[in-house]
A and B are shown apart, each in its own frame.
Chain A
Amino acid sequence: NAGVTQTPKFQVLKTGQSMTLQCAQDMNHEYMSWYRQDPGMGLRLIHYSVGAGITDQGEVPNGYNVSRSTTEDFPLRLLSAAPSQTSVYFCASSFSISTDTQYFGPGTRLTVL
């Protein structure tokens, strides 16, 4: 199993550009989520999904869109990048939220100029 994979590892954008961060898992997990981590801070939940076709907002959803068309993939779209979105983005997955281990990807380091 590859686990949770994220692409790209690094990305530099200009203000106003849009892009999609990719996340995939091969463990048949129903629950997937996106977090951002700013320097020196803990992780903050952006969006999450409890299964294909079902998504919901986390703590800091503004400026981001998600969709879940398959169990395996959960892309995060930045609609119009802003410098405040400079951060490290982590994707995670698990069978369930309450009782199971969450597996995290290696992260995508995004810089918005």
Chain B
Amino acid sequence: DAKTTQPNSMESNEEEPVHLPCNHSTISGTDYIHWYRQLPSQGPEYVIHGLTSNVNNRMASLAIAEDRKSSTLILHRATLRDAAVYYCILSSGTYKYIFGTGTRLKVLA
């Protein structure tokens, strides 16, 4: 199963953009890149996903490298409510959705 690598933690100031990186050098051509986040004491919630092209939605943007070996989740203006653990996940053809340990984002007021 394809693996992802993320920094353990990051900090950001409130109202500033945040770029959360993810490396997935063993990604296969059919793997989608998903991002989820987990707020304290809650289940994970969907943020965004993509295959090859950059994606935008109301929550965030996803920038995917041309070789697809890395991606970056962009929160355009971090708020205190964005403090969470962010997971980068590859969906594999074997139906196994493998979470890593994620990046804990701390937002400073």
A residues with a Cβ closer than 8 A to B are 31, 33, 35, 41-45, 48, 50, 56, 58-59, 90, 92, 97-99, 101-107
Which of B84-100 touch A at CB < 8 Å?
A: 85, 87, 91, 93, 95-100
Partner of B44 from the list A43, A56, A59, A98 (CB cut-off 8 Å) is: A43
Query: In the complex, what residues of B have CB within 8 A of residue A101's CB?
Result: 46, 49
- Report, as a range, how many residues of chain B touch the other chain: 20 to 34
Query: In the complex, what residues of B have CB within 8 A of residue A92's CB?
Result: 43-44, 97
Query: In the complex, what residues of A have CB within 8 A of residue B91's CB?
Result: 97-99
B residues with a Cβ closer than 8 A to A are 30, 32, 34, 36, 42-46, 49, 85, 87, 91, 93, 95-102
Query: In the complex, what residues of B have CB within 8 A of residue A102's CB?
Result: 34, 36, 44, 46, 97
Q: A104 to B101, alpha carbons, bound, how many Å?
A: 17
> B43 and A105: CB pair below 8 A?
yes
Of listed A48, A56, A102, residue having the most chain B CB within 10 A: A102
> A42 and B101: CB pair below 8 A?
yes
Kindly provide the distance from the CB of A99 to the nearest chain B CB, expressed in whole angstroms.
Answer: 6
> B98 and A59: CB pair below 8 A?
yes
20 CB < 8 A contacts A-B? A33-B97, A35-B99, A43-B87, A45-B96, A45-B99, A48-B97, A58-B96, A90-B44, A97-B95, A97-B97, A98-B91, A99-B49, A99-B91, A101-B46, A102-B34, A102-B36, A102-B46, A103-B46, A104-B45, A106-B43
